[in-house]
A and B are shown apart, each in its own frame.
Chain A
C-alpha cells in the first residue's frame, strides 16, 4: 500500500493554488492521474519522487516512510525507490542504449538486470546505438528500461507516450503493462488519452485545481453508463460539417475514423478536438467476417 497525503501551495500562471491530495494505492495497481494542464498532476509525481518540496504531509510506501513533515522525515530522491519516465525521454545523448541503462545501476548492483531489461523491451538489436539513431518509440523503450534498472517500488510515468504516433503508443502501452506485471510494480501514470487510460489502468483519479474530484474504475468514470447503448466508444472529433439539414461529424476512435449524423442541437456545444462518447444500440451494427 502506498499512502499519500500531501499539501502544497503551488504558484501558477493563474495565481496560487492549494494542492491537497489523499490517495491510497494498493500494491501492484496501475493508477492514472487525469486532468487538464495545471491541475497538479506532474507536481504530485515530482513530490513523490522527492524532486519537489512538500509543505505538509506524509508519504509511506509499503510501510516505509518516505516523507513525514511532522517528524521531519524527508528521504532524498536517491533514497526513494522510484522510476521516473518523462515525455521527452531524457536519455544521455553521448551514451549508447546499454550505457544509458548501466549508468542507472546502483553501486554493487547485480548487472544481470541490464540484460534482462534489454530482452524484455526488445532492445537487443539496438543496444549499441546512441539515442539519436533511435525512433521516438525506441527511445521511450530505453527510458522505460532505464527507469526499471533499480527495481523501483513506484514507477512514475508522466505522459510518456504523448509524443508518439498511435501505433507506437499502442506498442509502448503493451510494454508498460508487461513490465508493470513482471516486476510487480505499483505504477502511477499521467495521461490525457482516455482510450489509453481505459486500456492500462485499474483506477483513475480525476484532478481539478489540485484536488481529486472523482475516482473509480476507468470504464465507469469515462463511460459511466450515461446511455444504455452497448455499441459504445470514446473518440475525438476531427471535423463537423453541415450537409443538408443535418451535420456529419467525423470522429477518430483509436485508429479508426467513423462518421455520425447529428442534429444542430447535438453539436451546439461540440467542437473539433472534443472528446465524445459515440453510442448506438447493440441492434444496429452488422458484422461481416474478414476473410483470410
Chain B
C-alpha cells in the first residue's frame, strides 16, 4: 500500500460524494473522490491532517516523453530506484517529490516500455483509486 500524509486543501461536496484535494507538500496536491462527506466523516475539514492510501496495482507508469493528455488527475514525476521483475507482474519503485511510490505493473509492460533503473518516469493515479484515512 502506498501511504502519504498531507492536509486537506479543498473539499467539494455534491450529494454523498466529495472531491478532496490533499496537499502533500508545497508543490504536490493529490485529488480523490470518495463516497463520504464532512457530515459522515468528522475529519473531513479544510486544513485537517489526513492520510491517503492507494494500491500499488493502481499506479500507472508512463515514460517522460509522454505528450498526450489524459483524464488522470494525479500525476507525479520521479526516478526509478528499484525494479523487481516477476514472471507475470513486476514491482517498480519510483522516488518522487512526495517520497517513494511503488507500482505493480505487468512484466510485459515493463519490458515493452524498457524501464530501467535511474530512468525518469511519470506515475499516475486515478482520483477514484485513492482512499483516505485519519
Residues of A whose CB lies within 8 Å of any CB of B are 225-230, 243-246, 261, 263, 265-266, 279, 281-284
If A225-B41, A225-B134 touch, does A245 touch B53 (CB 8 Å cutoff)? no
If A228-B34, A281-B128 touch, does A245 touch B104 (CB 8 Å cutoff)? yes
B109 sits at the interface (CB 8 A): no
Residues of B whose CB lies within 8 Å of any CB of A are 1, 33-36, 41, 53, 55-57, 84-91, 102, 104, 107, 128-129, 131-134
Q: Is the CB of B131 within 8 A of A281?
A: yes
Q: Looking at the complex, which one of A245, A263, A266, A279 makes contact with B86 (CB distance below 8 Å)?
A: A245
Q: Is the CB of B133 within 8 A of A246?
A: no
If A225-B134, A230-B35 touch, does A263 touch B56 (CB 8 Å cutoff)? yes
Q: Is the CB of A228 within 8 A of B133?
A: yes
Q: Is the CB of B89 within 8 A of A245?
A: yes
In the assembled complex, the Cα of A279 lies from the Cα of B36 at a distance in Å of 15
Name the residue on A nearest B57 (C-beta): A261
In the assembled complex, the Cα of A281 lies from the Cα of B104 at a distance in Å of 18
Q: Is the CB of A244 within 8 A of B87?
A: yes
**Cβ–Cβ < 8 Å partners of B128 in chain A:** 281, 283
If A225-B134, A246-B104, A263-B102 touch, does A282 touch B87 (CB 8 Å cutoff)? no
Q: Name which of A244, A266, A279 has the most chain B CB atoms within 10 A of its CB.
A: A244
In the assembled complex, the Cα of A287 lies from the Cα of B57 at a distance in Å of 21
In the assembled complex, the Cα of A245 lies from the Cα of B104 at a distance in Å of 9
Name the residue on B nearest A283 (C-beta): B128
- 30 interchain pairs, CB-CB under 8 A: A227-B53, A227-B131, A227-B133, A228-B34, A228-B35, A228-B36, A228-B41, A228-B131, A230-B35, A243-B86, A243-B88, A244-B90, A244-B107, A245-B104, A246-B86, A246-B91, A261-B55, A261-B104, A263-B91, A263-B104, A265-B1, A266-B1, A279-B131, A281-B34, A281-B35, A281-B129, A281-B131, A282-B35, A283-B33, A283-B128
In the assembled complex, the Cα of A263 lies from the Cα of B131 at a distance in Å of 17
New A-B contacts (7) at CB < 8 Å, excluding given A228-B133, A263-B56: A226-B133, A227-B131, A228-B41, A230-B36, A244-B86, A261-B57, A281-B34
Shortest C-beta distance, A230 to chain B (Å), equals: 5
Shortest C-beta distance, B71 to chain A (Å), equals: 14
Shortest C-beta distance, A232 to chain B (Å), equals: 10
**Cβ–Cβ < 8 Å partners of B55 in chain A:** 261
Q: Name which of A225, A244, A245, A263 has the most chain B CB atoms within 10 A of its CB.
A: A245
**Cβ–Cβ < 8 Å partners of B129 in chain A:** 281, 283-284
In the assembled complex, the Cα of A244 lies from the Cα of B85 at a distance in Å of 8
Shortest C-beta distance, A179 to chain B (Å), equals: 34
Shortest C-beta distance, A260 to chain B (Å), equals: 10
In the assembled complex, the Cα of A279 lies from the Cα of B57 at a distance in Å of 15
**Cβ–Cβ < 8 Å partners of B1 in chain A:** 263, 265-266
Shortest C-beta distance, B8 to chain A (Å), equals: 12
In the assembled complex, the Cα of A230 lies from the Cα of B33 at a distance in Å of 12
Shortest C-beta distance, B34 to chain A (Å), equals: 5
Shortest C-beta distance, A266 to chain B (Å), equals: 6
Q: Is the CB of B91 within 8 A of A245?
A: yes
**Cβ–Cβ < 8 Å partners of B102 in chain A:** 263
Shortest C-beta distance, B31 to chain A (Å), equals: 14
Shortest C-beta distance, B111 to chain A (Å), equals: 14
If A263-B56, A279-B131, A283-B128 touch, does A245 touch B34 (CB 8 Å cutoff)? no
In the assembled complex, the Cα of A243 lies from the Cα of B104 at a distance in Å of 13
In the assembled complex, the Cα of A283 lies from the Cα of B86 at a distance in Å of 28
Name the residue on B nearest A229 (C-beta): B131
In the assembled complex, the Cα of A86 lies from the Cα of B90 at a distance in Å of 52
**Cβ–Cβ < 8 Å partners of A282 in chain B:** 35
In the assembled complex, the Cα of A225 lies from the Cα of B41 at a distance in Å of 8
**Cβ–Cβ < 8 Å partners of B132 in chain A:** 227-228
